[in-house]
Chains A and B, each alone.
Chain A
Amino acid sequence: AQSVAQPEDQVNVAEGNPLTVKCTYSVSGNPYLFWYVQYPNRGLQFLLKYITGDNLVKGSYGFEAEFNKSQTSFHLKKPSALVSDSALYFCAVRFYRDDKIIFGKGTRLHILP
């Protein structure tokens, strides 16, 4: 069965430093992978996705993610963190376009001024 794991409940990063939020997945086949961000009392906002092609995917607000098939990972990265990046981040996987999207439990990102 397809699943996605976010091993860190919380990540703390100083403003201006690079950040990484980890995600690993398990699917039997080629995955479609997504990152979403959620601010308090808001719905989920799409950041970026990997469908096929280049392993490094660029998305909104300066975020990027690296797909690594051998390690079954899709870590979210940003070269220089902003305080406004503080939020809850969710990794998600969709096995096939006609299938449900499965979310990880989320990682709370704190950017310290």
Chain B
Amino acid sequence: GAGVSQSPRYKVAKRGQDVALRCDPISGHVSLFWYQQALGQGPEFLTYFQNEAQLDKSGLPSDRFFAERPEGSVSTLKIQRTQQEDSAVYLCASSPLGDYTEAFFGQGTRLTVV
């Protein structure tokens, strides 16, 4: 389809394991966002890219979290040495630049750390 695609949809990781979450934005979308959503809560901002440039990473909770978008398209959110408190749904969104449009969200990756 033409929407934002995230993989995997579900990930179970043992505490201490590293994980990588992938986001394929809508083709041509310049802006890309990552959010963390705890159960029953609103999405919390993690980081924002414009093309390959990471303009804002103020929401990343620790230096265990790292995001990249090397070619300005696909993005990967990496979490090192996962902890139980990292369990959440990770949402990716993309939007065009140069227009005050809404962001289009993927279905998210549900991460469970056991």
Q: Which chain B residues border A32 with CB–CB below 8 Å? A: 100
How many chain A residues have a CB neighbour from B under 8 Å? Answer: 26
Given contacts A43-B91, A90-B42, A105-B42, are A100 and B56 in contact (CB under 8 A)?
Answer: yes
Judged by a CB distance under 8 angstroms, whether B16 is at the interface is no
Give the number of residue pairs across the A-B interface with Cβ within 8 Å: 58
Which of B43-51, B68-76, B79-87 sits within the interface? B43-51
Q: Are B102 and A97 in contact (CB under 8 A)?
A: no
Interface residues of B in 5-48 (CB under 8 A from A): 33, 35, 40-45, 48
Q: Are B105 and A51 in contact (CB under 8 A)?
A: no
How many chain B residues have a CB neighbour from A under 8 Å? Answer: 27
Complex CA distance for A101 and B91, rounded to whole angstroms: 13
Complex CA distance for A97 and B100, rounded to whole angstroms: 6
Given contacts A32-B100, A90-B43, A106-B41, are A101 and B108 in contact (CB under 8 A)?
Answer: no
Complex CA distance for A103 and B106, rounded to whole angstroms: 16
**19 intermolecular pairs with C-beta atoms under 8 Å apart:** A32-B100, A44-B105, A45-B105, A46-B103, A90-B43, A94-B100, A97-B99, A97-B100, A98-B97, A100-B45, A100-B48, A101-B33, A101-B45, A101-B103, A103-B43, A104-B42, A106-B41, A106-B42, A108-B40
Q: Which residues of A contact B (CB under 8 A)?
A: 6, 32, 34, 36, 41-46, 49, 51, 88, 90, 94, 97-106, 108
